[in-house]
Amino acid sequence: MLRLTWVQPEDLVGHELRQARLDGRDASAVAARWRAAGGGEPPARAGASPGPASPRLSRLAQDLLDELAGLPSPLAAAEPTELDRIRALCPDWPAPRPGARVSPARLEAAWLGRAVGCLLGKPVEKLPLPGIRLLGRAAGNWPPTAYFTARGVPRDLLTAHPWNRRSAPTSLAENIDGMPEDDDLNYPLLGLLLLRRHGKAFTTGDVARVWLDELPPGRTFTAERVALRNLLTGLEPPHTARHRNPFREWIGALIRADVHGWTNPGDPGAAAEQAHRDATLSHTANGVHAAMFAAAVVAAAAPDDAPDVHACLRAGLAVVPPGSRLAGAVRHAVRLAGAHDDFDTVVDRLHAVHSPAHHWVHAVPNTALIAAALTHADGDFTGSVSRAVSGGWDTDSNGATVGGVAGLLAGSPAALPAHWTAPLKNRLATSVGDFDGTGFDTLAHLTHRETTRPCPSPPPPPPSPLP
């Protein structure tokens, strides 16, 4: 039986009910009808429940999703999706730094850092926090200062806390042979294609066209899979982000944001606006704010004379509505990171606040963890990726974002420890475009070209005529 994940109506209802609780919509009557009809909770970690619902329950689920979408949220005014409304709430919107530039070497360090952090987090993605800690400690690698390994880990512990089944064959230290494919690297590649084809003035519709041309649906998850489904049924952005999409405030837009920061060095505001146009294909409110935050942090860290990581984080907060849940979570995380020497204590406090209410892929807790990791490590590369992954939740995505920022701040590939970068072999696997097997040095030069060109890349020359 083909059980496609992240699109089954009977699973979407439970996720939408959780989202309603988070944004203050009164969904108690809908929840009661769902339970009375036999509907249950969505799977905690998987993308679909094991078996299909009855046709009757599936039809009810679709009706209830539409009913839930019509419930007003008391948080809407403080958490808008529209850019003009976001900017109106941000009194300290950052101005560009005149003359800021980013070198290809710095961009290569960013690409490598993103890959390293992602790869560190891949084997433990979806594992609960206690399992991640036990696996790392059993191998003598806690907090993790090298890639996870199964060597020396007791078999009973591996049975109780199995590695991510798709990632372990390519992402444990003993198995790494180049950078394996991951959506956290696929999306920067798509962003690069987007800029090459449409320039920095791209529209959300342009993002949709690139996805339809280049993004295999089987490589998408959560909000991106729903947005693609909505596109294929004829919906246009921004409705693609809203229609039966309970994942619209999850982390997917944030992991697409780095390329917008890389190509706007020293201009966090422009990076955030670019990220907004990308994000609104699939996300709303805090999901969009998280992408804008990440893009602004990256843009602030990109110039060769970048400020310290703490100033970069402040630039990120400057593009987020200050009364939003995301801004509050980031401010709280930064305070925690400054108050505790032991990062495990910071993580425990974050989980106590966020885990009871949020799915492990939601943007709010994951963005908070990103900010805490960068703050606590003071921008140090190994310290940053280690802390991000050791915090659990969406380990590979958080590791990737933090690794990209810390790579920029390190300044060059040579500044990154070789035990992290050497196993990558300057080779990236992907199903996006013609990038499979491309080196990170090549990607850095392609990205650098887009930092100064607002127009699309010229089309390839026509083939030579036959003699």
Helix (H) or strand (E) segment spanning residue 296: helix 285-301
User: CA separation (Å) from 73 to 26, 32, 45, 211, 213?
Assistant: 8, 19, 27, 30, 35
Contact 428, 439 (CB under 8 A): yes
| pLDDT band with cut points at 50, 70 and 90 for residue 336 | very high
Q: For residue range 105-143, list pLDDT tens digits in order.
A: 999 999 999 999 999 999 999 999 999 999 999 999 999
27-76 residue pLDDT tens: 999 999 999 999 999 998 889 998 899 999 999 999 999 999 999 999 99
| pLDDT value of position 452 | 86
pTM of the model: 0.96
- pLDDT at position 3 is 83
In Å, how far are 123, 338, 348, 369 from 335, measured between CA atoms?
30, 5, 14, 12
pLDDT at 464: 44
Return the biggest CA–CA distance within the chain. 75
Cβ-based neighbours of 300, under 8 Å, separated by 6 or more: 94, 261, 266, 268, 306, 307, 311, 312, 315, 316
Q: Over 50: is that where the pLDDT of 466 sits? A: no
- Domain layout of the chain by residue ranges: 9-69, 83-117+180-424
Give mean pLDDT, residues 259-287: 98
Instruction: State yes or no: pLDDT of 282 exceeds 60.
Output: yes
How confident is the model over 343-366, as a mean pLDDT? 98
Report how far residue 467's alpha carbon sits from residue 463's, in angstroms, rounded to the nearest whole number: 12
Structure tokens at 435: 């990038």
Cis check for the bond before 217: say yes or no (omega within 30 of 0): no
pLDDT at position 456: 64
pLDDT tens-place string over residues 231-246: 999 999 999 999 999 9
Question: Token pair of 398, please?
Answer: 């958080």
What's the pLDDT band for 25 if we cut at 50, 70, 90? very high
- In CATH, the number for domain 83-117+180-424 is 1.10.4080.10
| 278 contacts 251 by C-beta, under 8 angstroms | no
The rounded percent of the chain whose pLDDT value lies above 70 is 97
pLDDT value of residue 1: 57
Task: Tell me which of 213 and 1 has the higher pLDDT.
Answer: 213
CB 205 within 8 A of CB 447: no
Give CA–CA dist 328/118, Å, rounded: 26
Burial of 37 (0-12, 13-18, 19+ CB in 10 A): middle
DSSP 101-158: ---HHHHHHHHHHHHHHHHHHGGGTT--HHHHHHHHHHTT-SS-SS----TT--HHHH
d(CA 254, CA 281): 13
As beta bridge partners, residue 179 has 428
Q: What is the pLDDT of residue 442?
A: 98
Amino acid at 242: R
Which among 108, 88, 145, 118 has a CA at the least distance from the CA of 417? 145
Sole residue written with tokens 């409304």: 85
Average pLDDT, the chain: 95
**What's the pLDDT score for residue 453?**
81
Q: Give the pLDDT confidence of 375-422 residue by residue, as tens digits.
A: 999 999 999 999 999 999 999 999 999 999 999 999 999 999 999 999
